[in-house]
Amino acid sequence: MTNSASTITQTEVDALLRQLQELRQQIALAREMIAPLETNLAEVYDEFQVVVGGLRRHSMRLQAEIATLRAQIDRFTHDQDDTLEQDESNEKLLYVKEEETADSASVDPEAVEKDMLLEHLFRVLDPMVNDEDGELLANLQGLCSDTTASLADVLEELPWGLVWTTRSLQENIADQHRRLAIWEQALKRQMENLNRATERLKKDQRYGLWQQREKGTDYWRTFLNQCIEQQQDQNYELQAELDSLREEWERITSTSNL
């Protein structure tokens, strides 16, 4: 049930504003942590690829050729071919999914909330008198029109100040509280997304490489040398498996030609 103007107090609005300010600070700190971590992971992976990348690419080529030969041998020995029926089934499924996608199109609630934010900005800012208001409004209008930008993305770019704390002439205290509550939920979702992003980066395979590099230059160099040796050993094994499959394929095809 929505609170009426008579049941909302200024104390509740002030508490919500404090929560919003705290959420913005938490989001800013989270971004400060994520940005260098993303940079470090990219850098350490580039270093790793320079040293081990060639061997890893050779490994992938060997694995691809092995998979191809295995498939050829399997098709030749089992003589199974029901791909046409499967393709027709996939085609029907594609049409169903396309129809479902078209029917599921609806109004984006984020777009509605961004429109409400812009409406509030027009009511409390004075771009005709204040150049800073005009510049801020222009920047946020462009961001609001970006379909990839969420309400929280826009709120992050909105400096803390009168736009946050001011109640427009068209609002009563319940309207203001309702608007701020929507903003709070958007920022909470943003904070959750950033927390998940941090956890995702820590689970990234590059994170382990970065931890190794953080142990020092000598340790990192030793680690890379070990990776080279391990990859070379794996490539030798893959090459032996590929040679064996080639011999098997040659034996199968030569026997069938007799």
User: What digits encode the pLDDT tens for the residues 156-174?
Assistant: 999 999 899 999 888 999 9
Q: Per-residue pLDDT tens for 182-228? A: 999 999 999 999 999 888 888 888 999 999 999 999 999 999 999 99
Q: Mean of the pLDDT values across residues 7-21?
A: 94
- Is the confidence at residue 81, as pLDDT, over 60? no
The most confident of 80-94, 107-121, 186-200, by mean pLDDT = 186-200
Distances (CA, A) of 50 to 9, 45, 61, 212: 62, 9, 18, 16
How far is Cα 209 from Cα 39, in angstroms, rounded to an integer?
13
What is the pLDDT at residue 84? Answer: 44
Tokens of 25: 């600070």
What is the pLDDT at residue 80? Answer: 44
What is the pLDDT at residue 107? Answer: 64
Q: Which residue in this structure is represented by tokens 């600070």?
A: 25
The most confident of 1-15, 79-93, 185-199, by mean pLDDT = 185-199
- Is the confidence at residue 91, as pLDDT, over 60? no
What is the pLDDT at residue 106? Answer: 61
To the nearest whole number, what is the mean pLDDT of the chain?
Answer: 84
- Is the confidence at residue 249, as pLDDT, over 60? yes
176 CB-contact burial (10 Å; exposed 0-12 / middle 13-18 / buried 19+): buried
Q: Which residues contact 157 (CB under 8 A, 6 or more apart)?
A: 139, 140, 143
How far is Cα 207 from Cα 38, in angstroms, rounded to an integer?
9
What is the pLDDT at residue 232? Answer: 94
133 CB-contact burial (10 Å; exposed 0-12 / middle 13-18 / buried 19+): middle
Beta strands in the chain (DSSP E): none
How far is Cα 86 from Cα 100, in angstroms, rounded to an integer?
21
What is the pLDDT at residue 234? Answer: 94
